[in-house]
Amino acid sequence: MSILQLKDNCKINIDEHSLVEGVICFDRNNATIAIGKRVFMNGSLIAAQNIEIGDDVLISWGVTVVDHNSHAISFSERSQDVVNWRLGKKDWANVKIAPIKISNKVWIGFNSIILKGVNIGEGAIVGAGSVVTKDVPAWTIVAGNPARVIREIPEDER
């Protein structure tokens, strides 16, 4: 695991029997990341507020989970973002930020992207290469860009 950026008062908790590889980036002070038990992850977590990952979750290679838009829409506001971010002076006032929750027993396929404000319900599966922009119901399979429900997972497969 590589931690690229660690701001003030940021916290990461990795519970027992988890294997976490990839990149962790805290983009703003007081950001938190919580990773549950028996999680396998090989992707990127980029937090400005909060990313929560439940127990028994599989996050495949190349997955990116990011709880913010990174930049404001207005060019005049984002034109100096990189310089200001490196100096610790980035203005987050006009950047949309919302926490992400990945519930227990979720499987996220490789090269998927999970965007700000998303809640992925228990047992859901995200197909490879998907871009998840909205909540995913429990025990469903979603795929695509943007991700949409493909089918529900039957009781006998849960």
Give pLDDT, residue 74. 82
Please compute the mean of the pLDDT values over residues 88-115 and round it to a whole number. 93
The CATH number of residue 34's host domain is 2.160.10.10
Rounded CA-CA distance 95/107 in Å is 29
Which residue reads 């990773």 in tokens?
Answer: 35
**Domains held by the chain: number:** 1
**pLDDT tens-digit map of 54-89:** 999 999 999 999 999 988 888 887 788 778 777 777
How many CA atoms lie within 13 Å of 24's alpha carbon, on the beta-carbon side?
A: 20
The catalytically annotated residue of 7, 38, 71, 96 is 71
Identify the residue with better confidence: 28 or 126. 126
Share of the chain above pLDDT 70, in %: 96
Q: How far is CA 94 from CA 73, 75, 90, in A?
A: 8, 12, 11
Cα 32 from Cα 47, distance rounded (Å): 7
Asked about 71 being catalytic, the answer comes back as yes
Range of the domain at 102: 2-157
pLDDT tens-digit series, residues 11-56: 999 999 999 999 999 988 899 999 999 999 999 999 999 999 999 9
